[in-house]
Structure 1
């Protein structure tokens, strides 16, 4: 079973989260009813394959997390990672607070705010279907610690979006960037991310 391969001993909690998404998540308009039959393939497994990439004991912020994708999935799969679920909408924050409490996710906290308003700094920042890459980099790179990274979960237009945004990326503190396929041989299609690496503190001093 692919889900067991991806989530291992944490599968039971992910299954409980799936049940919440398919019930309260749909009722509150956080997930469309048509997404329920493909909840695992399109959403949970798609996000779950990102979890092994997060460094041990890292801090992570999921910008515009919505119903918790991918942030809450990563928190469930990686209890060692400290996850902040960031979203400005009250109904999403309420759902996430209830989900975190019901699932007993001690390593996740919910913050109701826009990325522009949030003052945290993280090793990894994630975003899935939030905004075009250039706009996302402008608002989300400031949440990365020096040397940290922004992972933008994208689809077929990842390469095109990166080409369009590349001239502006250094302006937002990006040192290097790449498009990566995650979970090849495990999920089909693999998850595509654009990884933007923030300049190190030393590089920022040299730039000034």
Structure 2
């Protein structure tokens, strides 16, 4: 029964992220997650001012969203602890932090890969489909990390739930849902931009300069 519940939550969130990214891509580039925005800032794809404004808007939107849920679904809101992220019983902080780092890394890396403008002309259709792998990445990460941390990987989502629910345990564990995603996003940005992309460019340059071709 609990597995079906996790599966439903993961599908719902993955599908919603797909829809939101698709709808907002032409407006803000689909920035609905501070961790993703932070990763893109490190890759110099977003300015500092824009990144700060995006993160502020994302956090405010999350707080308002949780407030609406509490106002219209108070019984379910109370039953499920306001949807606040907390470290599950039986897991220590290292495990929770690791889950958030890995989960965010997967998401941000998929964002970089799906929106990479340096693909060949033959792959020009890929950016159009970018919301699909991003949404599916969210789905997979939720399946893996809901039993551990309730799945953060989105600083605004964790903050919004904690602000409205205002529970001691939610606040005590809150640092995990900020530090983990920031680290995961930073690793993904550095890996894609300065290791994977640099290696691919170097290999392509060697291929083109080979006298045997």
Instruction: Give the TM-score normalised by the residue count of structure 2.
Output: 0.26
Greater relative contact order (Cα < 8 A, sep 6+): 2
Structure in which a larger fraction of residues adopt strand: 1
Structure in which a larger fraction of residues adopt helix: 2
Question: Which protein has the larger Cα radius of gyration, Structure 1 or Structure 2?
Answer: 2
